[in-house]
Amino acid sequence: MLVSADTVRLAFLRTTPPPTIANQALLARITGETITMAPTTVVSGELDPSMQVRDSIVTGAATTGAVNYEASRNPWLDEMLSAAVYSEWGVGSYNTIPLTADQLIAAKELKLYTIEKDWTMVDSTHSYHRFLESAIAGLTLAITPGQPITGSVNISGGPMEDPISTAPISGITYLDPGSNPVMTAPLVTELTVDMGTVSTRCFGTFNVAINNNVRGIQCIGELGQREKVIGRIETTLAGNIYFASNDMLQHLLDQDTFPVTLKITDSLANFYEFEFPRCKVTGAPVHAGGTGQDVVVALAMQALYDSVKGSSMLITRGT
């Protein structure tokens, strides 16, 4: 018998900087994952009288992939949001006001993790695939009417542990993510673009993408990346608005700046709120696709640094 994907348990153990509670791994609520170490192989150029290949050489390796999830209020997603923006909850100030413990802004602190997949084998033993010195490269949210709010966490991983283990890491406790309800599109309580609320504009989709441009450094004597270096945080917003006015197109032509706010909730009133104080339209095409089709504005926006607020974003969590 083969191993089922339903047996996997995915955990994130922060290693740098150490978390407040040491030796605690966060279990992820996921719908799927594609984390893998991909080797770089080179075919030997050695000449051989047989006129055949003499060797295949592993010259490097990189761990990449994504963790897919349905949004819910849980410790793992709290951690992924803070790692994506190089920050800690409650650290810093916004509009010169100190943050509360449930607020988050962009900063410059790189977090590294040991990511562990725990597979239950058919004989009830376990196989642990671990990816060391891994960073969070970004995070997305996707909202579609009538659907759960989904997203992905992008991984910039380090080397895979060798040898592959059949035992958990000694001394580690695993924090269960809980069972708060999944957040859904009908429960979005606020979606404000340029002061136009969700009730005054009809959005067909809305997406948030945070890319922090973390990059790995390769050195002689290492298989894969030795270190990670932080990059610029770039946040893009996109959505389809059913065409009813030219305001977004006019903002593009005038290069206006404006705020965007998104608040996603669950049936128990748990929430994440995203405030982007200064945004610009980067695209607003309007097309007549064909007969029987609705006309939409394919809106694209870039979140920008606000020197007054001191950040390009403010994320608030709550219950």
pLDDT score at 199: 45
Sketch the domain layout of the chain as residue ranges: 5-43+58-318
Residue type, 73: R
Paired residues of 118 in beta bridges = 9, 128
Paired residues of 58 in beta bridges = 41
pLDDT score at 59: 86
- Asked if residue 250 has pLDDT above 60, the reply is yes
**Residue 26: its H or E element:** strand 24-27
Taking only the tens place, the pLDDT of each residue in 181-200 is: 999 999 999 999 986 544 45
- Asked if residue 225 has pLDDT above 80, the reply is no
Longest CA span, the chain = 76
Q: For residues 95-119, give the mean pLDDT.
A: 97
Q: Is 315 helix (H, G, I), strand (E, B) or coil?
A: strand
pLDDT score at 197: 46
Give the single-character DSSP code of 55. -
Residue type, 218: Q
Q: How many residues does the chain have?
A: 319
Report the mean per-residue pLDDT for the chain. Answer: 93
Percent of the chain surpassing pLDDT 70 = 98
